[in-house]
Amino acid sequence: MSGRICEGRVTIVTGAGRGIGRAEAVELARQGARVVVNDLGAEVDGTGSSLGPAGEVVDEIRRFGGEAVANGDDVSDWEGAQRLVNTAIETFGRLDVLVNNAGILRDRMLVNMTDDEWDAVIRVHLRGTFAPTRWAATYWRELARAGTPVDARVVNTSSASGIYGNPGQANYGAAKAGIAAFTVITAMELGRYGVTVNAIAPGALTRMTENLGAIRAARSGASAPAAPAEPDPVRSPENVAPLVAWLASSQSAGITGRVFNIGGGRLSVAEGWVAGPGIERDGLFDTEELNAIVPDLVARAAANADMRGQRA
């Protein structure tokens, strides 16, 4: 097939056994990429493991003529992340794209959250983004220093819970906000080596999100929303994957350090923290005078965005 935007590019997709990661891996392969399908095969909360889901995606890709290999390393493990990067290089000869998608949920209101529930989510999402990116970046830096042209991509996975906020997900939201900041900073650092770094904040119906409506309703005392009679393709993971494939391609060169909202048929660029209304002083602030200053600044500031990224 001609005209495929990722023709010949070697990609890693973490957490690619199901849901959004699976859709990303399949779409990348359809666009000509050779794919390392990474997945532990764990449950939504991160327990258990099986290479089965990754192998099933590899089989799916191979059935339509694509090239793929399964990998079951833990992306939050230092040596595991290095083995993952090495799998791409040793199997396909190089690495061009890293898609950090792996994640788990341990939702709980803060007053009920345990330290294990906090640590597990932070480890998989935040460390599981850092470790593979670190090893991939080291590989690309060595190529650049040796004079080899590099046109590489990192695509991270943030969330509306992280960049806008969602009750009951302090651990998940903190990790996803950290990934957004990680994206901006690493984009600044890796540009000199020919690497762009972007992130998506996806919205799709997956096994991680299918029960969130009922959970939110229970917390608010409302009735749970009725399940749709048939899946909505607009809200499917397959409607998120094309953006990732485009960001993974050479067509996205020059776009870096950005977070994109994608899901439900809507695509937008998230705008990060900015300095709003303020005052300046040559001298020290006085604690007592802040009572007359801070409320006025807050009153003039734009409201925080809702979960859709919209301000009232």
With 70 as the cut, is the pLDDT of residue 227 above it?
A: no
Handedness of CA 190, 194, 200, 204 (dihedral sign): negative
Give the pairing of strands 259-263 and 266-270: antiparallel
Q: What was the pLDDT predicted at 43?
A: 53
Q: What was the pLDDT predicted at 204?
A: 65
How far is it, in rounded angstroms, from Cα 200 to Cα 162?
A: 11
Q: Is residue 219 part of a domain?
A: yes
With 60 as the cut, is the pLDDT of residue 97 above it?
A: yes
- Judged by DSSP in three states, 290 sits in helix
Q: What percent of the chain has pLDDT over 70?
A: 87
| Angle (nearest 5°) at CA 248 between 245 and 253 | 125
How far is it, in rounded angstroms, from Cα 296 to Cα 277?
A: 9
Token pair for 93 = 């000869």
- Judged by DSSP in three states, 287 sits in helix
With 50 as the cut, is the pLDDT of residue 222 above it?
A: no
Token pair for 305 = 């965005």
With 80 as the cut, is the pLDDT of residue 3 above it?
A: no
Q: What was the pLDDT predicted at 311?
A: 86
Give the ranges where 1-51 is alpha helix by DSSP (H): 19-30
Q: Could you tell me the maximum CA-CA distance found in the chain, to the nearest angstrom?
A: 70
Q: Is residue 292 part of a domain?
A: no
With 80 as the cut, is the pLDDT of residue 11 above it?
A: yes
Could you tell me which residues come within 8 angstroms of residue 218 by beta carbon, excluding any fewer than 6 positions away?
A: 224
Q: Is residue 85 part of a domain?
A: yes
Could you tell me which residues come within 8 angstroms of residue 293 by beta carbon, excluding any fewer than 6 positions away?
A: 279
Q: Would you give the DSSP letter of residue 32?
A: T
Order of strands, sheet of 97-99, starting from the edge strand that comes earlier in the sequence: 67-71, 34-38, 10-13, 97-99, 152-157, 195-203, 259-263, 266-270
With 70 as the cut, is the pLDDT of residue 101 above it?
A: yes
Contact 162, 105 (CB under 8 A): no
* pLDDT band at residue 312 under the 50/70/90 scheme: confident
With 70 as the cut, is the pLDDT of residue 49 above it?
A: no
How far is it, in rounded angstroms, from Cα 309 to Cα 49?
A: 34
* pLDDT band at residue 47 under the 50/70/90 scheme: low
CATH number of residue 155's parent domain: 3.40.50.720
* pLDDT band at residue 8 under the 50/70/90 scheme: very high
Q: What was the pLDDT predicted at 215?
A: 44
Contact 124, 69 (CB under 8 A): no
Q: Is residue 1 part of a domain?
A: no
Per-residue pLDDT of 253-287, as tens digits, reads 999 999 999 999 999 999 999 999 999 999 999 99
Q: Is residue 282 part of a domain?
A: no
Q: Is residue 3 part of a domain?
A: no
Domain extent for 63: 10-270
Structural domain count, the chain: 1
Q: Is residue 40 part of a domain?
A: yes
Q: What was the pLDDT predicted at 230?
A: 56
Beta bridge partners, 96, equal none
- Tell the residue number behind the tokens 């762009």, with chain if given: 196
Give the ranges where the chain is alpha helix by DSSP (H): 19-30, 52-63, 78-92, 115-122, 128-145, 160-163, 170-190, 212-220, 241-248, 290-300
Q: Is residue 275 part of a domain?
A: no
Range scoring the smallest mean pLDDT among 4-13, 37-46, 213-222: 213-222
How far is it, in rounded angstroms, from Cα 87 to Cα 75?
A: 13
Beta bridge partners, 203, equal 263
User: How far from chain centre, in Å, is Cα 67?
Assistant: 23
Catalytic residues: 159, 172, 176
